[in-house]
Amino acid sequence: MKIFKFLFSTSKVNVVLAIVAGIISGGSGTLVIALVNHILTLENPGMLRIILGFAGLCLAMLLTSFVSGYLLIRLAQGSIIELRLDLSKRILSTPLRVLEEKGPHRLLASLTDDVAAIMNAVSVSPMLITNLVIVLGCLGYMGFLSLPVLGIGLGFMLAAFLSYQLLMKFANKYLIQAREKQDELFNHFNALTQGTKELKTNKKRRLSFFQDELEPTVHGVYQSTVRGMTLYTFAGNWGQLLFLFFIGFVLFLGPVFSSVSSEILVGYTLAILYMMTPLITILNIMPNFGRANISLKKIDSLGLSLGDDVLTENNLEKRGYEKLEFKGLTHQYYREKEDLNFTLKIDNLTFTPGEIVFLVGGNGSGKTTLAKMLTGLYLPDSGSIILDGEEVTKDSIDHYRQLFSVVFSDFYLFDNLLGIDLEKQQEEAQHYLELLQLDHKVTIRNGKLSTTRLSQGQRKRLALLTAYLEDRPFYVFDEWAADQDPVFKEIFYTHLLQDLKERGKTILVISHDDQYFHLAERVINVDYGRIVSDERMESSKYRHLVAEY
């Protein structure tokens, strides 16, 4: 099973030590059964050495069982921590385009549902190993008593195992179906939370969403899970029934064999009864491991890569640049809504410090895609990014991204000023709060914003505050002014951008506000993934471009 491979990969030493302790514990329990069976044949079972032996075995079983359980509990919890951190690292290092194609609902399902399924299996792994050792120890004792009877017992066990595996195969089929529907369910939950306003204002849409999408998916998860878990339960009960048949065989048919004494029969009966509870426990917790294996395969199927330097600090140096060039860059992806491939191509584009550049074009022309490509969030399929004469490679792309501060139209606003040294920038942060006219609503204490529950325009100003404090050489604003009132829109274009320009920053502004185009050094026009013009702004050109746009 993948879950055991996962445990061994976490800490082989702890697993081995826990198994050794479990073997000693199970062996001690088996010896207790053997001693009890021996005591039953004695005329004077109260001898001191018998009592001490019994007490010693019980104490050894208790201590080793505790040590095994303790080691496996630590291992289980540690492996869950490693899994969560590893999955988070993989999301952070996987290319943005891959994450967008997977969809946030699939990632969220893995971070919550899959991790929870794996955690449930890992949490009961101490119980599984301990009980498995007890069962094996009892079988070993039964073999010591009589190999022929053990052979018959193993025949029953083999039949139980094969039939159990067959039933588990069908059960896993349903559980895999349930897990696939979980992705769809999380997508509906995302629509439920993000589209609440739209659902509340349209009753027909609300009823259609609930009855045609959410409810069928919920019932689908329910039905597949119930069918799978029912088969698991039946498989467990069937395994127990076969072992009860084995007990009946020993009790009723054992005396037929002349070589089987009453002492052997009693020993077999005690061993079987003793291992019944561990066996039932094993069968009951096996579904947890089945679901965990499905979840591990689901996580692997996401294809999330792991970069070696995703969380190292060797790429955090912020520096300026002299010239940034893009030559022959292409990036292609599939647009589901339009059922076609979209290709963005940049033949030749150059940026230098201290210039304001407007990026314009119609909806769907590729402006945001171009911005993501320029900032290194989308890796080019071909072409070169040249920074100060040196080509940016896949190995240096993360370092390259540190040149940019970006506020996208679908930005996320953290409530902490993460990665910013406020001990040195506290006064600067307060200055920008006042400049952005937010000081009467937001305060900063210990690097945390007092609130982010503001209007969309004010939230964008807070995002701009974070970008200011990052103090990067290149700023990109994606429709930043679209949610601002006319007064603050004027401030943004005529004051804030000019301030960044005077500080030697490069500013790329995606905008439809043609009345401010004259403030830019250049205006780049994009149409369906191609740069159709890149003109320096002069008064005559500006009038012509505005009329054309």
| Three-class secondary structure assignment of 46-101 | CCHHHHHHHHHHHHHHHHHHHHHHHHHHHHHHHHHHHHHHHHHHHHHHCCHHHHHH
* Residue reference for tokens 């540190």: 402
The pLDDT assigned to 199 comes to 84
| Cα–Cα separations (whole angstroms), residue 11 to 31, 38, 72, 82, 183 | 30, 40, 10, 11, 31
For residue range 406-447, what is the model confidence (pLDDT) as tens digits? Answer: 999 888 888 888 888 777 778 888 888 888 889 889 988 888
pLDDT > 90? residue 13: no
Residue 25: alpha-carbon gap to chain centroid: 36
Ranges 17-26, 407-416, 504-513, most confident: 504-513
pLDDT at 317: 56
Query: Facing residues of 297 across strands?
Result: none
Quick: pLDDT tens for 45-104.
556 777 777 777 778 777 777 777 677 777 777 777 878 788 888 888 888 888 888 888
Q: Give the residue, 451 or 194, on which the prediction is more confident.
A: 451
Residue 354 reports pLDDT greater than 80? yes
In what helix (H) or strand (E) does residue 348 lie, and over which residues does it extend?
A: strand 340-351
Instruction: Please give the Cα distance from 520 to 205 (Å, whole number).
Output: 44
Greater confidence (246 vs 183) lies with 183
Question: Among 223, 208, 221, 145, which Cα is nearest to 180's?
Answer: 221
User: Which residues lie closer than 8 Å to 55 by C-beta, 6 or more apart?
Assistant: none
pLDDT given for residue 539 in this prediction: 47
Are the C-beta atoms of 330 and 383 separated by less than 8 Å?
A: yes
Statement: residue 130 has pLDDT above 80: no
Give the side-chain half-sphere CA count within 13 A for 480.
Answer: 28
CA-to-CA distance for 168 and 190, rounded, in angstroms? Answer: 32
- Burial (CB < 10 A; 0-12, 13-18, 19+), residue 153, is buried
User: What pLDDT is stored for residue 187 in this prediction?
Assistant: 86
- For the segment 348-358, the average pLDDT, to the nearest whole number, is 94
Structure confidence at residue 335 (pLDDT) = 59
What are the sequence ranges of the domains in the chain? 2-88+100-301, 324-548
121: how many CB neighbours lie within 10 A of its CB?
Answer: 26
Candidates 470, 476, 478; CA nearest to 432 is 470
Mean pLDDT value across residues 332-350: 76
Residues 6 or more apart whose Cβ sits within 8 Å of residue 170: 231
Please state whether beta strands 506-510 and 474-478 pair in parallel, antiparallel, or not at all (unpaired).
Answer: parallel
Predicted pLDDT of residue 522: 93
* CB neighbour list of residue 506: distance below 8 Å, 6 or more residues apart: 324, 351, 352, 353, 354, 355, 357, 473, 474, 475
Which candidate, 549, 482, 484, 544, places its Cα nearest to that of 514? Answer: 549
Q: Return the percentage of the chain with pLDDT > 90, whole number.
A: 20
Contact between 240 and 279 (Cβ < 8 Å):
yes
d(CA 402, CA 459) in angstroms, rounded, equals 23
Residue 281 banded pLDDT, cuts 50, 70, 90: confident
pLDDT exceeds 60 at position 338? no
CA distance 367 to 351: 16
pLDDT at site 324: 95
The whole-angstrom separation of Cα 204 and Cα 89 is: 42
Across 266-276, average pLDDT: 76
Give the chain's end-to-end CA distance (angstroms, integer): 61
DSSP string, 401-446: HTTEEEE-TT----SB-TT--HHHHHHHHHHHHHHTT-TTT--EET
The per-residue pLDDT for 42 is 67
Q: Tell me what the mean pLDDT of segment 445-451 comes to.
A: 86
Q: From the CB of residue 196, how many other CB atoms can be counted at a distance below 10 Å?
A: 11
Distance (Å, whole) CA 82 – CA 345: 40
Closest CA to 96 of 429, 410, 355: 410
Are both 2-88+100-301 and 324-548 of the same fold? no
Determine if residue 258 is left, alpha or beta; phi over 0 gives left, psi from -120 to 50 gives alpha, anything else beta: alpha
Instruction: Tell me: pLDDT of 244 over 80.
Output: no
Q: Are strands 448-449 and 522-527 parallel, antiparallel or unpaired?
A: unpaired
Task: Answer yes or no: pTM beyond 0.85.
Answer: no
So what's the pLDDT on residue 40? 67
Mean model confidence pLDDT for the chain: 81
- The domain defined by 324-548 folds into Rossmann fold (3.40.50)
- Which range, 55-69, 133-147, 327-341, 464-478, is most confident? 464-478
Residue 526 pairs in a beta bridge with: 531
Residue 196 has pLDDT above 70, yes or no: yes
pLDDT band at residue 543 using 50, 70 and 90 as cut-offs: very low
Rounded average pLDDT over 354-368? 91
Q: What is the pLDDT of residues 417-427, one digit of tens each?
A: 888 877 777 88
CB neighbourhood size of 312 (10 A): 10
**Phi and psi angles of residue 477, each rounded to the nearest 5 degrees, phi first:** -125, 115
Q: Does 318 score more than 70 pLDDT?
A: no
Q: What is the DSSP letter of 364?
A: T
- Class assignment of domain 2-88+100-301? mainly alpha
- What is the rounded CA–CA span in Å between residue 31 and residue 393? 65
Range in 22-31, 104-113, 355-364 with the lowest mean pLDDT: 22-31
Distance (Å, whole) CA 51 – CA 394: 71
> Which whole number is the average pLDDT over 190-195?
83
